[in-house]
Each structure stands twice: as C-alpha cells, then as structure tokens.
Amino acid sequence: MTHKNILPEVAYRVFVEYGQPVRSPSDYKNEKHKICISCGKGGTKSNPITNGHKTPYGKGIFEFSLSPEFLNSEQNVVRIHRRKGCDVALTTEQIVECLKKTDWYNPPPWVPKEIRDLFGSKYS
C-alpha cells in the first residue's frame, strides 16, 4: 500500500496516458499570506502575489508519482510574485533531497528509473 501523498500505480498510469489535468483557481487553498516568500515584498497591480508550487505540479506527478492533493497542499504551495524574478520551483535534485527527508517517500517502482537512481541503489 502506498502513502496517501503518493499516487497508486493505476492513477499514475492514467496521468501518463491522458496528461496533466487542468486545474481551476479553486484548487488552491493557500491565499492567506500576502507577502512573497522569495523576496519578502507585497504584491502590486502589475506583479501580484499568487500561488506557486515548490515541486512543480507536472513534475511531481510524472517524475515522482506525487498525489495532486499533496502537490496542492500547504506543504507545497506557497505565496510568490507572479513575475519578475521570484521563483520557488525546485530542481529535480532539490526535490529528491526534500523527499529523502520525509518519513513517507520511497520512490515507487513505476516512476522513471532515472528518478529512482537519484535516491540511491536501494530504490533502483
């Protein structure tokens, strides 16, 4: 049995076959903070504060088999400027390091081998 933050294999295969679902703004719940976590400044009309995924949504699903619920949770969604230099998207290597620190993530056998290899021989 997989952890609730990891997609079961059948759900993962559906995403791979049919692609990433379109999300509506109501999918996001982290709107209480009005300051960008990257630069510490508030939003403006030309550069508003919006939600950003630390682990990008598509990358989380297709490369790590992470559930949409986890990817849209407060653990992963933060407030950030929409444009102009502020970015929270982690690299693949940074995502691996973050997931290694959890007590729930072991790369399932259906994620790409290149990703499992980044976690060490124990998971390849």
Judge whether 105 and 96 are in contact, CB under 8 Å: no
**pLDDT tens digits, one per residue of 69-115:** 899 888 898 888 887 778 889 999 999 999 999 999 999 999 999 99
Per-residue pLDDT band for 28 (boundaries 50, 70, 90) equals low
Whether residue 34 is predicted with pLDDT greater than 60 in this model: the reply is yes
> According to the model, what pLDDT value does residue 10 have?
93
Q: How far apart are CA 66 and CA 60, in angstroms?
A: 5
Show the DSSP H helices in 29-104 as ranges.
57-62, 68-71, 92-100
Range with lowest mean pLDDT among 13-22, 28-37, 45-54, 87-96: 28-37
Query: Tokens representing 56?
Result: 């990008």
Per-residue pLDDT band for 26 (boundaries 50, 70, 90) equals very low
Q: How far apart are CA 79 and CA 109, in angstroms?
A: 33
pTM, whole model, 2 decimals? 0.80
